[in-house]
Every structure is written in structure tokens, then in C-alpha cells.
Amino acid sequence: MFKRSAIFAVILLLGGCASGTRPVDPTGAMMQRYAGDVPGASLLVLKDGKPVVRRGYGLANLEDNERATPTTNYRLASVSKQFTAAAILLLAEDGRLRLDDPVRRWLPTLPESTAAVTLRQLLSHTGGLVDYEDLIAPGTTAQVSDDDVLRLLSATPKTYFTPGTAYRYSNSGYVLLGLVVERASGISLPLYLQQRIFQPLHMGHTLLYEHGKGPEVANRAYGYSEENGRWTRTDQSVTSATRGDGGIYSSIDDLAKWDAALYDDRLLSAASRKLAFSPHVKVTGEPYEASYGYGWRITGDTLWHSGESIGFRNVIVRWPQQHLTVILLSNRNDPEPYRTALAIAAPYLQ
């Protein structure tokens, strides 16, 4: 999807060459919009497990003039889904649930129309559940919780299609998966992620954030949107309190540890990684060609996922065969970073 001519153009722009010689500054031109006294970004390029680019641009907090750094923690938004999927896979490995379990086994208040929906289908966005965002009453100002989502879906006796027959990206499904993690493990979702993923991988500054319930986010980036030529803090919305679909905060330094764990058995078994990274369904209705695994999009030889919420735009793109990863986290509503990540990766691809 990224044409050869475009790759060579980017290489020339950044001062590299097609023979594999790395440019002196492989990021400056691509990251210019994030630099200065504006909402910024943190960028990591990992090649063969080592950081070849690791730096922050711009500001994490405009009001306090705090610079973005490699340790700045951003709301990951939908990049969180790969962690929710990993939690489900770990519970399956431990025999606490089965991927073919009907979701109603764990969440029995869901309507009869969802009786055929399985955890496996929720992982791949093929369950057909109604988007909870469309069920929120007009004028709602209080943040919607996971329990609110469950109540909304339980009162909605319809699905978009017969489960397993089509693809439709579903935040609803991943909110429910987070609740299933709690039911199957017997502990809260933040605690399960902490004990089974973040602590074993030494991701010491990563957490599933719950306002007023748990620890605050250290080195926190706040989200901003540009309105009429001015940056306005837009850090939270009514849907910013849901968890399994997008509530994790992390930094590029911690995500480097996550990336490393995806190459071996230190967290997930080879069988679980294969499930996560296999193309289970073709993505439709989105402006790119991809298939979907469990918490990962798959395009050619790349594994990737973007994350978008009010004031944040993030992406992680992995080329496992090349042992290359680009992670770009930003606390602003624009630009969308996927194409930027591909351009930054171009000089490092053989």
C-alpha cells in the first residue's frame, strides 16, 4: 500500500539512500509539525531490538510548558486493544475461559440477540454488536463507564449482522472483553493487566487509568485540539472513561518492552501470538487495506494499530521479519500518524 516510488522519495527527503545507509536525521522533516511550543509527540524507532530514534517533540502540557519526552505517558486509545486481547489470550492459556465461549456465559444480562456471539468474534470485530457510542442519550455530560456500556447493550435487542458473518470495528466488543477479563480472573481489569502484563514486562509507568479510583498518571500528556488557530485542551470526553477499548496510558519507553515481548514466549505462548497476529477477517469500511487479528491490524508484512480519542492520535507499526518497529504517540487531534510512521520507517526497510 506504500508504493516503492514513495519510499524512495521519502529516503531522498530524509537524506538516506536505497542501499540501506541510514540517514543522519531520519525524523526531522517528518516530525516538524510536532516541534516547538505546540502539543507534541514521542517517537521511537526500534531496529533489531535497539532504539535508533528515541525522542520527544513539542509539549506534553501547554499550560505548564512541560516538554514531551520518551517517558511521557499518553492515552493510548485503541492501541489499548492489543493489551485487552492479550489478557483474554492469557486467561485462555490458564484455562480460565475458552475463546469460543459465548459472551453471555460471562455477561448473562446481554440480550438473546447476542446468544451466538463468542469471545473469539469480539476479538476480531465480527460479533456485530451495536456501537455503544450510538446508544448514549443526547445531552449526556457524565462519563460513560463499562457498566453503563453493558447496561446500554443489554437493553438493545439487535445486532448489525449475524455474528461471525462480517466485520465492523467495535469498541463495544472490547469494552465487554475487559469486563470478561474481570469475571474470569476474579480481580479488576486494571489489577489483572498490572499483575499479568505490565509488572512481568517491567512496564513500570503503564496503567489502565480510572479517574478517582486508582493512581494518577505520572508524566502525563494532556490532549489538545486546534480550534480557530488556537490549541484547546480536549483531554476527556463522555467516552474517555471506558477501559477495555482504550483506557491505557503508556510511554514509548514502556512500549519498547511490550514490543520485545512479542518476539518470544516471555508473556504469550507461540500459539497465542499466532492467534493474535493471524488475519481472521478482512477489514471493511476503513480507508486502508488490512485484515484483523486479535487487537492487531495486518497489512502485508506489518502488524499495526492506531489509537484515536479526543486530543490524542497514536500508532504502533511492526515489521517482525525486519525486526523493525515505529511507535508514534501524540497529544493532539491532528495529524493522523500512520502515514508518518510508514515514512519514518522507509529508510530502515531492506
3-state SS of the chain? CCCHHHHHHHHHHHCCCCCCCCCCCCCCCCCHHHCCCCECEEEEEEECCEEEEEEEECEEECCCCEECCCCCEEECHHHHHHHHHHHHHHHHHCCCCCCCCEHHHHCCCCCHHHCCCEHHHHHCCCCCCCCHHHHCCCCCCCCCCHHHHHHHHHCCCCCCCCCCCCCCCCHHHHHHHHHHHHHHHCCCHHHHHHHHHHCCCCCCCCEECCCCCCCCCCCECCCEEEECCEEEECCCCCCCCCCCCCCEEECHHHHHHHHHHCCCCCCCCHHHHHHHHCCCEECCCCCCCCEECCCCEEECCEEEEEEEECCEEEEEEEEHHHCEEEEEEECECCCCCHHHHHHHHHHHCC
Calpha distance 186→216 (Å, rounded): 24
* Catalytic, out of 42, 78, 306, 309: 78
Cβ neighbors of 287 (< 8 A, separation 6 or more) are none
Give yes or no: 19 in active site: no
Active-site annotation, residues: 78
